[in-house]
């Protein structure tokens, strides 16, 4: 707006309009003159994400598929909790990390999302849901590796948290990584979001089998980055651990995990595996998962068993994508 010869406050006004749910026509910017509204309409286009599909689970989980300008598809999941909702967002179309338990990995890497395509997922969900369902928390645990699209992630975080933008609290945003070590410390320096680490194994032998990224940055390098990460007061690093039958779910694996994380302010999220065609793993038994959790609790860790949500709507990343592309 300054380049157009206008005062900078006009830019702030425009930014606020652009990230207001329901804004779809420059004529709605009533604090601009009619000539300015016409000028904006003639020189810029409003390109919200196009809704390709919405699925609603019996437990209230909602999964959104967005069709991008190049006809690719990304996914966002709105998860109801006891007293709030959490939005799980994507940062890439596809993923290059190749985790063997992940549907998105089967797509391969297609491209990085642009900042407006990342933040636009939150805006789109807010426009398609009632206000009492708007998300309070945001987790970047959807399609893609957030730290492999670092600059767009940071720009999207700026939009999401700006009081003229979507005005989310940084304390209610968590970024997950499978272990892109060099960018982890950078994230800690650049922002105060929460950090989640997709660990899924306590040793290199097991992790190499299921997560190719471990061959680039091994378990010890990853854990050292966690020890060096600048965790602010009252925050902990969340370690995500997907339980796979006869792969990483033994009592010995639990003991190794507890020893590995000793001294780190940690919370452990234990995740039951949602079996699905084409993924060569089985869900751990309830008994095995309970034993694993009890070992960690006996070692004085907060170990929470995540409840499976959206199992009846293919809520694992990549499944709705496949349906939309096939259609």
**Are 15 and 159 part of one and the same domain?**
no
Q: What is the pLDDT of residue 274?
A: 87
* Tens digit of each residue's pLDDT (9 = 90 or more) over 196-213: 999 999 999 999 999 999
Q: How confident is the model at residue 321 (pLDDT cuts 50, 70, 90)?
A: very low
Q: Which two tokens stand for residue 36?
A: 């300015």
Which of 28, 46, 64 is the endpoint of a domain?
Answer: 46
**Are 165 and 73 part of one and the same domain?**
yes
**Are 120 and 188 part of one and the same domain?**
yes
- Is the pLDDT reported for residue 181 higher than 90? yes
Task: Report the C-alpha gap between 152 and 158 in whole angstroms.
Answer: 10
Q: What is the pLDDT of residue 103?
A: 86
CATH of the domain at 143: 3.20.20.70
- Is the pLDDT reported for residue 313 higher than 70? no
The chain-wide mean pLDDT, for the chain, equals 93
Q: How confident is the model at residue 325 (pLDDT cuts 50, 70, 90)?
A: very low
**Are 41 and 53 part of one and the same domain?**
no
**Are 209 and 295 part of one and the same domain?**
yes
* Tens digit of each residue's pLDDT (9 = 90 or more) over 87-107: 999 999 999 999 999 988 888
Catalytic: which of 145, 317, 323, 324? Answer: 317
Average pLDDT over residues 263-290: 94
**Are 40 and 180 part of one and the same domain?**
no
Is-catalytic flag, 3? no
Catalytic: which of 75, 145, 183, 240? Answer: 75
Total of domains in the chain: 2
Angle, vertex CA 310, rays to CA 307 and CA 312, nearest 5? 125
Of residues 309 and 196, more confidently modeled? 196
**Are 209 and 255 part of one and the same domain?**
yes
User: What residues have CB less than 8 Å from 307, skipping those under 6 apart?
Assistant: none
Which of 46, 61, 78 is the endpoint of a domain?
Answer: 46
Q: What is the H or E stretch that residue 311 is in? A: none
* Tens digit of each residue's pLDDT (9 = 90 or more) over 220-257: 999 999 999 998 878 899 999 999 999 999 999 999 99
Cβ count within 10 A of residue 298: 12
Is-catalytic flag, 317? yes
**Are 40 and 103 part of one and the same domain?**
no
**Are 303 and 287 part of one and the same domain?**
yes
**Are 126 and 271 part of one and the same domain?**
yes
**Are 8 and 136 part of one and the same domain?**
no
Structural domain boundaries, residue 17: 1-46
Average pLDDT over residues 9-19: 96
* Tens digit of each residue's pLDDT (9 = 90 or more) over 47-91: 889 999 999 999 899 999 999 999 999 999 999 988 999 999 999
Q: What is the pLDDT of residue 319?
A: 47
Q: Which range is least confidently modeled, 125-134, 163-172, 316-325? A: 316-325
**Are 40 and 54 part of one and the same domain?**
no
In 3D space, the residue among 19, 20, 2, 24 whose CA is nearest the CA of residue 11 turns out to be 2
Q: What is the pLDDT of residue 314?
A: 57
């Amino acid at each position: 707006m300054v380049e157009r010869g206008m005062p900078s406050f006009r830019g702030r006004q425009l930014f606020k309009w652009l990230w207001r749910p329901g804004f779809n026509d420059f004529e709605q910017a009533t604090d601009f003159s009619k000539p300015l509204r016409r000028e904006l309409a003639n020189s810029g286009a409003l390109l919200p994400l196009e809704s390709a599909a919405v699925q609603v689970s019996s437990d209230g989980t909602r999964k959104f598929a967005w069709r991008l300008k190049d006809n690719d598809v990304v996914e966002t999941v709105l998860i109801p909790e006891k007293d709030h909702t959490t939005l799980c967002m994507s940062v890439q179309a596809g993923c290059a990390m190749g985790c063997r338990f992940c549907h998105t990995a089967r797509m391969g890497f297609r491209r990085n999302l642009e900042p407006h395509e990342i933040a636009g997922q939150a805006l789109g969900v807010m426009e398609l849901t009632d206000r009492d369902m708007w998300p309070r928390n945001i987790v970047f645990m959807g399609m893609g590796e957030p730290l492999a699209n670092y600059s767009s992630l940071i720009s999207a975080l700026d939009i999401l948290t700006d009081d003229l933008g979507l005005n989310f609290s940084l304390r209610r945003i968590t970024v997950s990584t499978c272990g892109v070590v060099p960018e982890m410390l950078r994230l800690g320096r650049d922002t105060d979001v929460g950090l989640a680490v997709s660990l899924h194994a306590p040793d290199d032998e097991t992790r190499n089998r299921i997560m190719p990224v471990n061959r680039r940055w091994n378990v010890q390098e990853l854990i050292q980055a966690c020890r060096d990460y600048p965790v602010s007061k009252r925050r902990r690093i969340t370690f995500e651990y997907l339980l796979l039958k006869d792969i990483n779910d033994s009592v010995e694996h639990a003991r190794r995990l507890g020893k590995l994380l000793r001294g780190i302010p940690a919370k452990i999220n234990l995740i039951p595996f949602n079996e699905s065609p084409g993924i060569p793993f089985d869900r751990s038994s309830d008994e095995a998962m309970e034993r694993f959790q009890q070992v960690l609790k006996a070692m004085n860790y907060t170990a929470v068993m995540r409840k499976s949500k959206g199992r009846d709507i293919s809520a694992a990343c990549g499944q709705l994508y496949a349906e939309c592309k096939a259609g």
